[in-house]
Amino acid sequence: MLVEQAIEETGDWKLKVDEWDELVITYESLAHQIACLLLANGGITRNMSDTDYMEYRQLAMRRDLVSHMIQVLEYNLLNE
């Protein structure tokens, strides 16, 4: 029984770590896209076209959501 429980807990832990890895990769991709938009517009948003600015805001909101998901997952992993 204890062995089965340990195997199950290890599997759950690995799934959560794999999810964390995917979220970090997503976060880095979004951050890179934001940086490219900023770079293409002199590093400031006021130089962006309306279309670029809308894309920038959408990317930033997605990045912030993913960041929050990472923080929640990290909290859960550290407090199990």
Ranges of each domain in the chain: 17-78
22/4: higher pLDDT? 22
Structure-token match 């894309």, residue found? 55
Residues 6+ apart with CB under 8 A from 13: 77, 80
pLDDT at residue 2 greater than cutoff 60: no
What pLDDT band is residue 3 in, cutting at 50, 70 and 90? very low
Give φ, ψ of 51 to 5 degrees.
-65, -45
pLDDT at 5: 54
79/56: higher pLDDT? 56
pLDDT at 30: 98
Other CB atoms within a 10 A radius of the CB of residue 16 amount to 15
pTM > 0.85: no
pLDDT at residue 41 greater than cutoff 50: yes
6/43: higher pLDDT? 43
